[in-house]
Amino acid sequence: MKIQRRNKANPEFSLAAMTDVILLMLIFFMITSSAANQSAIDVKLPKAGAVEDNIPNPLTVSIKPDGSYFVDDTPVTREQLEPLIVSKLTDQTNRSFTIRADENTMHKDVVFVMEIAEKNKFNIAIATVKVK
């Protein structure tokens, strides 16, 4: 006597649940990536006209109006600035950094950081705020 099974497992599965999970992950990573690029150093960036958004640089040098320097939100002295920038960018494929200077920062402090970039052949970007 041959016994037949009544409940056969269905080998197909629905992709709807996986699509929902991927959509939620995409939203999560989009939100966290935009929030992760913000710096904790409070500087008022100068305003600029038409600018193109660029790929973010791996290193940020912030300059406050009193002449204090910060590398990736870590305070450094003027003497420590060049060795720290060079050590952080030596193994990078993108040998560039962003200068975030307050609009009231003295010109000599910004030029000092630009001279470091020129001497070591680093590319720089200067952060600004778009005029609305």
pLDDT digits (tens, 9 = 90+) for 92-111: 887 888 898 888 888 899 99
pTM here is: 0.60
Count the domains in the chain: 1
| Confidence at residue 33, expressed as pLDDT on a 0 to 100 scale | 74
Does 45 fall in a domain? no
Domain that holds residue 95: 60-129
Number of Cβ within 10 Å of residue 56's Cβ equals 15
What is the identity of the amino acid at 62? S
Does 38 fall in a domain? no
Does 16 fall in a domain? no
pLDDT of 85 strictly over 80: yes
What pLDDT, in 10s, does the model give residues 33-75? 766 556 666 667 666 666 565 556 678 899 999 989 999 888 9
Does 10 fall in a domain? no
Element counts in the chain: helices (H) and strands (E):
3, 7
How does residue 90 score in pLDDT terms, banded at 50, 70 and 90? confident
Does 81 fall in a domain? yes
Does 109 fall in a domain? yes
Does 35 fall in a domain? no
